[in-house]
Amino acid sequence: MGDAGLSISIVIPTFNAGRAFGTVLHRVMGQGRAPLEIVCLDRGSIDGTRHIVSQFPLARFVEIAEPAGAPTWNRAMDEARGDVVVFLAQDAIPANGDWLNHLAAPFEDVSVSGVYGRQQAPLESDPICAFRIGQRFCGEPHWRRNRIGDMVRYKSLPFFIDNAAVRRSVWQGIHFNEHLPLGADRVWARQVVLASCTIGYAPDALVIKDVHPSLKAAYRLALLTGYTDAHFGDAGGTLWPDSRKFVKRAAWYLLRGLAWGRLPYLAIEAVVHRYGYKIGRRLDRLGPALRERIAPRIATERREPEVDDLAA
C-alpha cells in the first residue's frame, strides 16, 4: 500500500511537548512503512523535548524562530527531504501501524497533491470536543477535484495540517500563505484544487488527538476567524470550521448521551463564538490601544497576499 518510490518525511512542530511525546514517536517508528526522516521543528522548548527526540535514530531536532502556523509549515517544507511531507501534531497519536501507509497511498495518483487523515478524540475526552471532531471527519474516503462552476468552498475541505500530507513538488509552486492568521492549511488546499490538482481524504489514516474545552481558546478561534474572514475572505466562504447547526446537533447529542451537565457550557461557548467572531470582523474599527489589548498578535494593517503564496 502506498507508492514505494516516494520518500516520506514526517514533520512534527513542537513546543514543550512533554513526556507523552515519546509515545507519539514510538507510534511513528512502529509504522509498517518506515519514513525517510522525522523532523521535529521546535520553537524554544524548555522541557525534555530535545532529549526525547535524541532517543530516536531517524528523528532530528531543529530549532526555529518562526511563529506557529504557516511560517513554520513553510520552514518544514524547506527542512524536509522527502518527496511527500507528512505533518503531525505533537499530541496526535497514530491509531495503528498502518497510519502512514493509508496517508501515503493516494499519492500513487500523480494528480494528488495533498491528503488529510481522520482525527478522533479519546473515549475519556469531553463529549462536546469529541462530538465536534466527529462532525468534521466522516468515515468514508473521498476526493476533491475542481469542477466547472464549482466555487470550492472551505466547508468541503476540512484539510487540517495536524494530520495531513503534502506533495513537495506542488508546494514549491503554491506555498502556505504566511499572511493568514488562521486557516492557511485549508486555503492552501483550496488553491491546489483550483489549480486542477486533487485533495484526498483517507479516514483510515486515523490519529487520536485529545482536545480540552477552553472558553479562552474558543474566543481566540472566533476572533481570528472573524478577522481572517473580513480581511482575506473570498469565494471560498467562511473559514469557521463548524456547521451552522452544530449547537443544535451537539445539544441533541448531549441529551441522548445523558450528558446534560455539559449543556450550560455549550450555550456559553456558543455566545463566546458569536461575540468573538463579531469583534474579529470589526477589529480595525477599534482604537489602537484597545486593538492591541484584544488581539496583540494580529497585524494592525491589512496586507494583500503575495502571488507566490497563492499560485504557481
Q: Which CATH superfamily is domain 8-212 in?
A: Spore Coat Polysaccharide Biosynthesis Protein SpsA; Chain A (3.90.550.10)
Query: Which pLDDT score is estimated for 156?
Result: 87
Q: What is the pLDDT of residue 312?
A: 26
Say what the alpha-carbon torsion angle 262, 295, 87, 39 is, to the nearest 10 degrees. Answer: -120
48 vs 21, 22, 55, 105, 149, CA distance in Å? Answer: 10, 10, 11, 34, 52
Contact 276, 226 (CB under 8 A): yes
pLDDT of residue 147: 74
- For the stretch 244-263, pLDDT in tens is 899 999 999 999 999 999 99
Chain centre distance of CA 81: 21
Residue pair 126/262 in contact by the 8 Å Cβ criterion: yes
Pairing between strand 92-94 and 198-209? antiparallel
Query: Which residues, 6+ apart, have CB-to-CB distance to 177 below 8 Å?
Result: 70, 184, 187, 188, 305, 306, 309, 310
Is the separation of the CB atoms in 8 and 35 below 8 Å? yes
pLDDT at residue 224, as a whole number: 92
Locate the domains of the chain by residue range.
8-212, 215-294
How many other C-beta atoms are found inside a 10 Å radius of the C-beta of residue 279? 19
C-alpha cell at 167: 506533495
pLDDT attached to residue 300:
43
Whether 242 and 156 have beta carbons less than 8 Å apart is answered as no
Contacts with 58 (C-beta within 8 Å, 6 or more apart), sequence order? 29, 34, 35, 36, 37, 38
Low pLDDT (below 50) residues in the chain:
1-2, 299-312
User: Cell numbers of 59, please?
Assistant: 528523528
pLDDT digits (tens, 9 = 90+) for 197-253: 999 999 999 999 988 999 999 999 999 999 999 988 888 999 999 998 999 999 999
Cell of 179: 499572511
Which pLDDT score is estimated for 189?
A: 96
d(CA 33, CA 6): 11
Looking at the whole model, is its pTM more than 0.95? no
Q: What is the pLDDT of residue 296?
A: 65
Q: Return the pLDDT at 310.
A: 34
SS3 185: helix
Residue 300 CB contacts under 8 Å (≥ 6 apart), including other chains: 284, 288, 291, 292
